[in-house]
Chain A
Amino acid sequence: MHRSLTLTTTPIDEARCIASAGLSDQMGAVIRFSGVVRAHENGETISGIEYEAFRSMVEHQFGLLFDQLAERWPAVGSVRLVHRLGFVPAGEPSLWVEVASPHRRDAFEACQWLIDSMKQVVPIWKRPRGGGG
C-alpha cells in the first residue's frame, strides 16, 4: 500500500494534492475528505484554531495506523494524509485525507476508521483563537 503523511504549517492546496495522486488504474474508488475549521466553537465566534503537535510521536502513531489499515483493508492501494499545524484560519482545511481502493466500500470504511483512530491516538491538540485573533 502506498502511504504518505505530510505535516505542514502552510495552507493545504487540495488541487495540488489531487493532481499529484499518481493512482494505479486498479483504484476504482477514491475517497477524499477535507476537515475545515469552523468559525464557531462552543457557541463563540473564533478566528481559527492553533494546532500543536508532538511531531515525532505523530509520525510514529500515523505509521502504526497505516500498518493497521493495510492489515484490515488489504485491497486499499493508497492512503495520503495531510495535517496542517500552527494557526489555521476559520474556513481553511486543517486535514486532508485520500484513500483509494478498487471498490468503494473499502475506501469509505478505511477513511472513516483512519480519521476516527487519529482522533484517539495521534498527539495533536487544538486551541481556538477568539474573533480578535
Chain B
Amino acid sequence: MIVSVHFWSYFCDLAGSPRTVVEIPAGGTVEDALRAVYAAHPRLAPLRNSTLIAVGVEYEGPSRVLQSGEEISLFPPVQGG
C-alpha cells in the first residue's frame, strides 16, 4: 500500500522535499510508515520524540491503522501566535 507523507516547517528542509511516498503492507500502521520514512530520510529520525503526526487533519499516534489514500503529515512542535 502506498502512503503519502507531507513534511512541514523545517522537516521539509531536513527531508529535502515537502512530500514523499512510502510503501507499507496492507493494514499497516503509522509506525510502519514512520519506519519507512526514517529509512529514506535518516536526518528526521533523531527528532522522532518531538515529532507530531497527523493523518488527514487529525492528530494520531503510531498505532493508527492506515487506509489506502490517506496522507500522513509529520511536523515539529507548533508555534502559532
A38 CA to B4 CA, complexed, in Å = 37
B8, B10, B75, B78: which has the most chain A beta carbons within 10 Å? B78
Q: Is B8 a contact partner of A125 (Cβ separation < 8 A)?
A: yes
The interface on chain A, measured as residues whose beta carbon lies within 8 A of the other chain's beta carbons, has a size of 24
Kindly provide the distance from the CB of B64 to the nearest chain A CB, expressed in whole angstroms: 15
**Assuming A57-B54, A61-B57, is B8 touching A122 (CB within 8 A)?**
no
The verdict on A20 contacting chain B, using a C-beta distance below 8 Å, is no
Q: Could you say which of A56, A115, A124 contacts B79, with CB atoms under 8 Å apart?
A: A124
List chain A residues, Cβ under 8 A from B10: 125, 127
Closest-by-CB residue of B relative to A63 is B57
Within 61-103 of A, Cβ neighbours of B (below 8 Å) are at 61, 83, 94-95
List chain B residues, Cβ under 8 A from A83: 80-81
A57, A60, A95, A122: which has the most chain B beta carbons within 10 Å? A57
Within 24-81 of B, Cβ neighbours of A (below 8 Å) are at 52, 54, 57-59, 73, 75-76, 78-81
The verdict on B9 contacting chain A, using a C-beta distance below 8 Å, is yes
List chain A residues, Cβ under 8 A from B54: 54, 57, 123
Q: Is A122 a contact partner of B80 (Cβ separation < 8 A)?
A: yes
Kindly provide the distance from the CB of B81 to the nearest chain A CB, expressed in whole angstroms: 5
Closest-by-CB residue of A relative to B52 is A123
A61 CA to B73 CA, complexed, in Å = 14
List chain A residues, Cβ under 8 A from B57: 56-57, 59-61
The verdict on A28 contacting chain B, using a C-beta distance below 8 Å, is no
List chain B residues, Cβ under 8 A from A57: 54, 57, 73
